[in-house]
Amino acid sequence: MGSIVFYPMSFDKSITIQVGGEQSGYPIENLEDGNWNTTWMNGNDTEAVQIDFDFGTGIKPVWFCIGNHNLTDTGKGIKLSQGDTGVGAAYNELEFLIGNGGYHDYVSANSGLWIETFSAPNSAERYYRLYIEDTTGTKPEIAFISMGTTVFTMNLNYSLGASLGRFYGTEKRITTGGQVKSNQLHGVKEQFQLSFDDIAETDKGFFDAIFTQIQGSLYPFVFTDIDGTNYYVRKQEENNFHDLVEYQIYNKQWTLIEEN
């Protein structure tokens, strides 16, 4: 028995650099694609950065995540704030979440995938701003930023199986002339399984809710294992198999492919 946490990612917000810039080849759009291997980098050294998010409607986030970043020293403090006026506006900042309104000293060392969870702010706002303090001369670099209002926590019998080996994503086909052609869709990725045992009928809604948010295998998500390790993954199967189960207590297994 153990606790495992799922964080469905959201990449449908508008992101704008207000202070700072972008290095050639590392555009701001890379923060919006959810891709671990494409990064944004600030265009200037030792400059505090402000990045604005427009969610289109008011939200009260309960977690914040950055992936594949270099914000792991005390010279790169971060702070997250709410705004009530608009992108780029000189609004009165409703500071919250990280460092109690001040800068979080740094993102946890050796944590390329970092999640901060917190109590939801008092008000739901449409606009949010990430500040990055930079005093080191090394330009801030981040692959993606996400925040969300939903956390799924399970306390069920489960096991994180040993790695199933490497998944190469190789597609093979035979031409009309009888030649075998192959195409590698992506670089090598690790593949592993989550197995859940003795799940009651009432717990099926948990899987349905996650499955709906990630839309099958369409969107990546983060899950935190019982030992606190974060994984950035995508579900391999397009289906949610519990609809085929007829018994009150059953076993469920998800196969996951890492996104980094």
Question: What's the total number of domains in the chain?
Answer: 2
What rounded mean pLDDT belongs to the chain? 79
What is the 3 state secondary structure string of 35-64?
A: CCCCCEECCCCCCCEEEEEEEEEEECCCEE
Structural domain boundaries enclosing 33:
2-148
Same domain, 42 and 107: yes
pTM of the model: 0.81
Q: What is the pLDDT of residues 22-74, one digit of tens each?
A: 788 999 888 888 899 999 998 876 677 888 888 888 888 888 899 999 888 77
Domain co-membership, 179 together with 123: no
- The per-residue pLDDT for range 85-136, each reduced to its tens digit, is 777 776 666 666 554 555 666 666 557 888 888 888 888 888 888 888 877 7
234 with 180, same domain: the answer is: yes
- Asked which of 130, 148, 166 is the last residue of a domain, the reply is 148
Same-domain pairing of 156 and 123: no
Mean pLDDT of the 189-199 span: 77
Question: Does residue 224 have a pLDDT over 80?
Answer: yes
- What is the percentage of the chain residues whose pLDDT exceeds 90? 7
Asked whether residue 41 falls in the same domain as residue 123, the answer is yes
> Are 16 and 115 part of one and the same domain?
yes
Angstrom distance (rounded) from CA 70 to CA 244: 45
Q: Write down the pLDDT at residue 221.
A: 92
Residue identified by tokens 């990055």 is 132
On whether both 199 and 233 belong to a single domain, the answer is yes
Task: State the pLDDT at residue 95.
Answer: 61
29-47 residues labelled b (16+ CB within 10 A) or e (exposed): ebbbebbbebbbbbeeeeb
Give yes or no for residue 16 having a pLDDT over 70: yes
Both 186 and 108 in one domain: the answer is: no
Q: Residue 55 in contact with residue 128, Cβ under 8 Å?
A: yes
